[in-house]
Amino acid sequence: MRSAQQLLADSAVIAVVGASRDPGKAAHRVPLEMQRHGWRIIPVNPTVDELFGEKAYPTLADIPHPVDLVDVFRPARDAVDVVRQAVAIGAPAVWLQLGIVSAEARRIAEEAGVDYVEDRCLIVERAAGGLSRRG
């Protein structure tokens, strides 16, 4: 299992499930901050067509190219289904944002050999590791 910072260092494309158009929400601020530091953010939200200058997709299965990491901004009860979807599309890693914990989601990820992080924030880990994808 890769550490949280190693996952970020290894990932270039992050699908964000539950990405929000509301600038007051972490589900908007966090992906935008990651994008500013060079990660490609793919929003997954069935109610918007575009976010952060990228086409948004209704589900993970609708994304027409591979993703390196699935970041989850959904309640823990929804995380189980999102992790199943991430496994189904062959995502190598899943990240549940700060405050989201699910033993069932962890079990599904581990059984599928998918790297798994929960209850951590992408931008906190990015800053702590001094990580950037900008050359």
Predicted confidence band of residue 1 (pLDDT cuts 50, 70, 90): confident
Could you tell me where the beta strands, DSSP code E, fall in the chain? 13-17, 40-44, 50-51, 54-55, 69-72, 93-96, 115-117
What pairing do the DSSP bridges indicate for beta strands 54-55 and 50-51?
Answer: antiparallel
In DSSP terms, which residues pair with 72 in a beta bridge? Answer: 17, 96
CATH H superfamily, domain 4-129: NAD(P)-binding Rossmann-like Domain (3.40.50.720)
pTM over 0.85: yes
DSSP H helices in 48-102: 76-88
Contact 45, 19 (CB under 8 A): yes
pLDDT digit string (tens) for 64-81? 999 999 999 999 999 999
Rounded to an integer, the average pLDDT of 82-91 is 98
Rounded to an integer, the average pLDDT of 86-101 is 98
Q: Is the pLDDT of residue 135 over 80?
A: no
Predicted local confidence at residue 107, as pLDDT: 98
DSSP-derived letter for residue 9 is: H
pLDDT digit string (tens) for 18-30? 999 999 999 999 9
Predicted local confidence at residue 91, as pLDDT: 98
Rounded Cα distance, 61 and 26, in Å:
24
Q: Cβ atoms within 10 A of the Cβ of 55, count?
A: 13
Task: Express as a percent the part of the chain with pLDDT over 70.
Answer: 100
